[in-house]
Chains A and B, each alone.
Chain A
Amino acid sequence: MVGVLTVVSLALVTVYFRESDGGALHSLQSTGATVLSPFEVGAERVARPFRDAAGWFDGLLDAKSENRKLKEQLDALRQEVILTQSALRENTQLKKLLTYLEGPTFPKDYRPVAARVIARAPSQYTQQIVVSAGKNDGIAKHDAVVTGDGLVGEVTKVASHVAQVTLLTDPQSAVSALDIHSNADGLLQLDQSGSTLILDRVTKDQKVDRGDVIVTSGFRSGDLSSLYPRGIPLGVVTSVSQTDTDIYKKVQVDPYVDFPNLEAVIVLVKKPGAK
């Protein structure tokens, strides 16, 4: 029995790796994910107030000194805060999304598909989330995913009603980006320590300053083009340094998107006929 299950597991891994995205196992998984998604949505909704309460207590520890002064006020407001925080946070994120959708920076060749975050990859190996929209909503592999703050990542797998999004903070993500002040361009990716985003491949002759805003470059060269539309905000430059031995500058970027607290996102789906 145990041997059979082990062999079946190994067979699943092997077949899953060898077959294409449209293969039988991928289709089966896609159906399974669609069946499971209502349970995940339900569990996420039930747990949200508890998570918010936990987050609230976590924040309380960080602000211990300030908390001492405001303790009397906080005691009275505590219950109210826990009850309303969930709705407020969701409201703020949705407002930001709406501002972005109606703003001039929204790419015109794209149609927005709003989706809720329903699961997160439970490991340190990958930075991925699962969102509650899929093929049936027009989402395809490699579609860009954003929030009102900026770029979140790229769709890497799609099922009928759910899609997997690989975040910008994943070790395998990379985005061609540019500094909107100086037009210096490079590749935004995680550094080797896996903790900081850096703008790589910026040659020493290009000018980048602390506080500069970095956006997607959306390059197009013949048939080759970036997955992401031009002008999506990525982050702000926090430090710039260079050494004599290195041919590139070392540019650290603080992302605009609050990756650990993502709740709602927008998938940018290309309009039919758009280039």
Chain B
Amino acid sequence: MILDSTKAAALVFVAAILQASVFSSVEILNGTPDLLLVTIICVALLRGPVVGAAAGFWGGILLDTANLATLGVTSLLLTISGYWTGRYGETTGRDRAHAPFVSVAVITFLYALGSLAFHFVLGEPAPARTVLWSTLFQGIALNLALTWPVYRLARLVLRQVERRERVQRIHALGQ
């Protein structure tokens, strides 16, 4: 459990550092990929809502610290994103191959909406047209492009525990 959490935390740490220093300056057709969000969604799908929420909180704190941005804003949004994705992964999305892609598309859209609302409430610039029209669809497309490799990587990193937790033997009742 501790090893699993450490691995997830390390994965999120690397994603947050790469997001702050590399991915945030990548601009393709006005869109910017969000590696941290995709990583948290993948961790949440593989490890459930509680770990997803904790990963979101940790990633948000790291990103806000690295950017000297308002502490707590990204944490809140990513905590909710991680929790929701974890719940989806445990219920409707369980064992569905398309679950990571559906989650990334929906969460990227909701994250943009939530982020816009939050900035508006805090009295910061909230350019709705730019966020919801000029960059949103490109952002979703770029995040979807990241989904498969990031999900594979997350599975690889968290695999050992998955194997250990897998059912080893079944005893039929009454035998």
Contact = CB atoms under 8 A, between A and B. Distances in A.
Interface of A: 1-2, 5-6, 8-14, 16-17, 25, 29-30, 32-33, 36, 39-41, 43-44, 47, 51, 54, 58, 118-126, 128, 130, 157, 159, 162-164, 171-172, 194, 260
Interface in B69-98: 69-73, 75-76, 79-80, 83
Given A44-B22, A47-B21, A1 B53 contact: yes
Given A10-B72, A124-B130, A126-B124, 4 more contacts: A9-B57, A9-B79, A119-B24, A125-B127
A9 B54 contact: no
Contacts of B60: 9
B125 interface: yes
Nearest to B130: A124
Please classify the interface of chain B as helix (H, G, I), strand (E, B), loop, or mixed, using the class held by over half of its residues.
helix
B69 A121 contact: yes
A30 B64 CA distance: 11
B157 interface: no
Interface residues of B, number: 48
14 contacts: A9-B60, A10-B76, A13-B72, A13-B73, A41-B21, A51-B25, A124-B127, A125-B125, A125-B126, A125-B131, A162-B68, A163-B68, A171-B125, A171-B127
B57 to A, nearest CB: 5
B70 A194 contact: no
B154 interface: no
Nearest to A14: B72
Contact of A121 (B24, B26, B53, B127): B24
